[in-house]
Amino acid sequence: MTTAALPTGLRVRSREVPPPAHGLLSLLPSASGPLSWVRGGEGLVGWGEVARFTGTGARRFADADGWWRRLVADMTVTDDVGVPGSGPVAFASLTFADRSPGSVLVVPRVVVGLRGGRAWVTEFGAPEPRSTEPVRRPTGLRYADGDLPVSGYRAAVAEAVRRMRAGELDKAALAHDLLAVSETPHDPRHLLREMAQRYPTCWAYAVDGLVGATPELLLRKRSGMVESRVLAGTAWAGGELATEKNLVEHRYAVESLAARLEPFCRGLEVPAQPSVLDLHNVSHLATDVRGRVRGDASLLRIVGAVHPTAAVGGTPRAEAVALIAALEGMDRGRYAGPVGWVDATGDGELGVALRCAQLDGPVARLYAGCGIVADSDPDSEVREAAAKLLAVREALEALEA
């Protein structure tokens, strides 16, 4: 674990305020480090920073949880609101792979929340004047190959299928990347607002330059209950969703989640059949899993055991993760890792960082992946990944911010 020294003597207060006239995302004051977890207009946004955890390795979830618990224990908290998301919160984004650096928790100086028509602000210290910079859209946008171009992705899928047919493993979720280069630094608020507008049923997130809109809730923990939405199996533009390939892929994902969640729960509700989630550009098979938590395990601790699910890793997990590293040949960073927020009680919401881009000055690195099984066709998987990349490309190219 690597992180700055814990600040001491922090005082934080949550108080009710009028709902924002133009939505939560309109409040983000600058392109410098905006934070977001918003769905259907409700959720949390934040800015400024009072503390930060950074870490890597297999213990990053436990290290982040321990750091957050120690920080909260030393705070003086006044919460006049008392709803999920009020009081001190940290925005979280953790890497997909153990070996990747960059897992973060960011504690913002200001958080504004909206839930069920009630709005509140959480602030460390006295309120400060807020001046908002205009949102900038990219200029002169051009695309370039990332670390794994389309030709390499097609070859990786073909090799994965060969190994699955040889009986080495059942499923692996392979991804590739694409660079979107602007003449000026990307403004994360532009991508965030456009993704939220196009995908209102997804969670629009921004943490430390990773911006996107995910349809997949990895885990929500609230009042002793955990919930998860598993997405696996995709069709686009009129394609058939209930194929044997998609149903098998989905079953692997649900079974892997349930198996790893079960030790933390006194009972799990797992529907026998998936439902269908229709989005702007694709449709997914979806299953909502629910359980009652045994003991006082925090969200970060449970997610550390669940991640990566078969939806973004594969089955068996160890073999799939090793195959991903070998065939992709790139560092996914925080793509397909957990993203969201945690509160002072260890509750919160963490999704899977999908439909996203990592912004670094004028360069945006876009990611998209597909679940590969023995029946997968490499050309079909290339088209599916392109359909998923289109979500972020259309948002970047939007003329209005």
Say if residue 88 is preceded by a cis peptide, omega within 30 of 0: no
Tokens coding 3: 């992180």
Per-residue model confidence (pLDDT) at position 401:
44
Looking up tokens 């939007």 gives: 398
Q: Are 25 and 193 in contact (CB under 8 A)?
A: yes
Per-residue model confidence (pLDDT) at position 253:
84
What residue ranges define each of the domains in the chain, with the CATH number in brackets? 2-126+139-397 (3.60.120.10)
Question: How sure is the predictor about 237, in pLDDT bands with cuts at 50, 70 and 90?
Answer: low
Residue pLDDT, tens place only, 278-313: 877 778 899 999 999 998 899 999 999 999 998 899
User: What is the dihedral sign for C-alpha 372, 375, 381, 384?
Assistant: negative
Q: Is the pLDDT of residue 233 over 90?
A: no
pTM: 0.94
Report the mean per-residue pLDDT for the chain: 93
CA 221 to chain centroid, in Å, comes to: 15
Question: How sure is the predictor about 3, in pLDDT bands with cuts at 50, 70 and 90?
Answer: low
Beta bridge partners of 212: 205, 356
Cβ neighbours for 277, distance < 8 A, ≥ 6 positions apart: 201, 215, 231, 283, 284, 285, 286
Residues 270-284: what's their mean pLDDT? 85
Per-residue model confidence (pLDDT) at position 4:
60
Helix axes 299-306, 60-73, angle to 10 degrees: 180
3-state DSSP: the chain helix, strand, coil percent, rounded to 5?
Answer: 25, 35, 35
